[in-house]
């Protein structure tokens, strides 16, 4: 878990730096929403649930309670966790995914009503291209480093991951792609290590999400002239890293779980959330392929760490 946290923090840090630089490119292309004498598009029905506990407190509490329960009552806690996992996965796969098209249509209507679709600066295309290029370059650097800067081994490792990248792009799910990712990682590292690492990181080690959400949140804040407080942004990144452990690796959930902290710490308006969500869903095939690509690199890195720490003690690998 510690290795995953370090990797996600590194991705978030690099993405933040890129996001700040990219925001500067759009500093003179702000979106001004018309607000005078204009009727706002409202939902037909509004369903409100009472807030029992703050999202931030619930997240932190759940994180630490899970660690404690796994130590003091491991078997029972595992059984309860598996039951809750089954229920949540069923809801996400059978219900949430089926209504995603409705969400997309609603977001488009909202953005059209707010005049966002015609107000987006053309520089967004260049920035999105820069975003994905930086993400892929970063992951390729991880492959180079993990293969000890040996070019032919790096190329072979990347070549082995291509089938997983294609499947990830078409399914938009790291979870569905996991068997192919596992097979590629077994070729690139070690069967024993790959069998442990890939199932463990598939849902929570998401480099593509880190780059896309972090960079785009900074760009959207800049173009909508929404100032970001340093303290609030730091809290946002902390909760962002923690929330990566709540991602189900199901299409659309990557942005859904981030909406509360985007609203609370970056003060995103409904219009900004709509723009963020629609762009995330549109580009999710690329985001998922980066996630899977990064998981393959992480398996090799973990294998190298394993060799450095345990090989000297045991004398061989299992």
Domain count for the chain = 1
The DSSP annotation for the chain comes to -HHHHHHHHHHHHHHHHHHHHHHHHTTT-------TT-PPP--S--------S-HHHHHHHHHHHHHHHHHHSHHHHHHHHHHHHHHHHHIIIIIIGGGHHHHHHHHHHHHHHTT-TTTS-THHHHHHHHHHHHHHHHHHHHHHHHTTT-HHHHHHHHHHHHHHHHHHHHH--HHHHHHHHHHHHHHHS-HHHHHHHHHHHTTT--HHHHHHHHHHHHHHHHHTT----HHHHHHHHHHHHHHGGG---STTHHHHTTHHHHHHHS---HHHHHHHHHHHHHTHHHHHHHHHHHHHHHHHHHHHHHIIIIIHHHSS--
Q: Does the pLDDT value for residue 160 go beyond 90?
A: yes
Q: Domain of residue 230: give its range.
A: 2-27+75-314
35, part of any domain: no
60 assigned to some structural domain? no
Q: What is the CATH number of the domain that holds 85?
A: 1.10.3860.10
pTM recorded for the entire structure:
0.79
Evaluate if residue 128 carries a pLDDT over 80: yes
pLDDT of residue 35: 47
Angle at 211 between CA 5 and CA 123, to 5 degrees: 165
Residue of 278 and 110 predicted with greater confidence: 278
Asked if the structure places residue 150 within a domain, the reply is yes
13, part of any domain = yes
Q: Which of 276, 246, 247 is nearest to 259 (CA)?
A: 276
What integer pLDDT is reported at residue 30 of this predicted model?
56
136/70: higher pLDDT: 136
- Looking at the domain assignment, is residue 118 inside a domain? yes
In a domain, 254, yes or no: yes
**What is the mean predicted confidence (pLDDT) over 197-218?**
90
pLDDT beyond 90 at 39: no
pLDDT in tens, 17-34: 998 888 877 665 555 454
Residue 43 is assigned to a structural domain of this protein: no
pLDDT over 70 (residue 317): no
For 233-257, what is the mean pLDDT? 82
Given a cut of 80, whether residue 57 has pLDDT beyond it is no
State the pLDDT at residue 153.
92
* pLDDT at 140 (0 to 100): 95
Residue 302 placed within a domain: yes
HEC letters along 142-188: HHHHHCCCCHHHHHHHHHHHHHHHHHHHHHCCHHHHHHHHHHHHHHH
Can you give the pLDDT at residue 154?
93
What is the structure's pLDDT at 36?
Answer: 44
pLDDT winner (highest mean) among 73-87, 105-119, 204-218: 204-218
């Amino acid at each position: 878990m510690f290795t995953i946290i370090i990797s996600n923090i590194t991705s978030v840090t690099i993405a933040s730096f890129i996001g700040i630089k990219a925001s500067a490119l759009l500093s003179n292309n702000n979106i001004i929403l018309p607000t005078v004498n204009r009727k706002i598009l409202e939902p037909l029905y509004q369903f409100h649930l009472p807030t029992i506990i703050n999202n931030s407190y619930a997240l932190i509490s759940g994180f630490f309670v899970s660690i404690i329960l796994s130590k003091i009552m491991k078997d029972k806690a595992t059984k309860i966790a598996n039951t809750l996992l089954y229920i949540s996965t069923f809801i996400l796969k059978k219900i949430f995914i089926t209504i995603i098209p409705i969400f997309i249509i609603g977001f488009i209507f909202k953005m059209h009503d707010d005049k966002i679709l015609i107000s987006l600066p053309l520089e967004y295309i260049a920035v999105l291209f820069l975003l994905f290029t930086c993400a892929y370059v970063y992951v390729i650097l991880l492959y180079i480093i993990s293969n000890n800067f040996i070019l032919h081994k790096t190329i072979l490792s990347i070549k082995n991951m291509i089938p997983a990248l294609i499947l990830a792009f078409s399914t938009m799910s790291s979870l569905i792609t996991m068997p192919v990712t596992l097979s590629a990682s077994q070729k690139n590292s070690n069967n024993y290590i790959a069998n442990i690492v890939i199932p463990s990181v598939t849902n929570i080690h998401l480099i593509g999400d880190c780059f896309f959400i972090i960079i785009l949140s900074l760009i959207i804040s800049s173009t909508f002239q929404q100032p970001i407080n340093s303290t609030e942004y730091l809290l946002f990144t902390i909760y962002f890293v923690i929330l990566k452990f709540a991602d189900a690796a199901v299409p659309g959930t990557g942005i859904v779980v981030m909406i509360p902290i985007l609203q609370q710490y970056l003060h995103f308006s409904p219009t900004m959330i709509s723009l963020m969500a629609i762009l995330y869903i549109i580009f999710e095939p690329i985001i998922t392929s980066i996630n899977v690509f990064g998981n393959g690199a992480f398996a090799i890195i973990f294998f190298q760490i394993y060799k450095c720490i345990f090989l000297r003690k045991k004398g061989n690998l299992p």
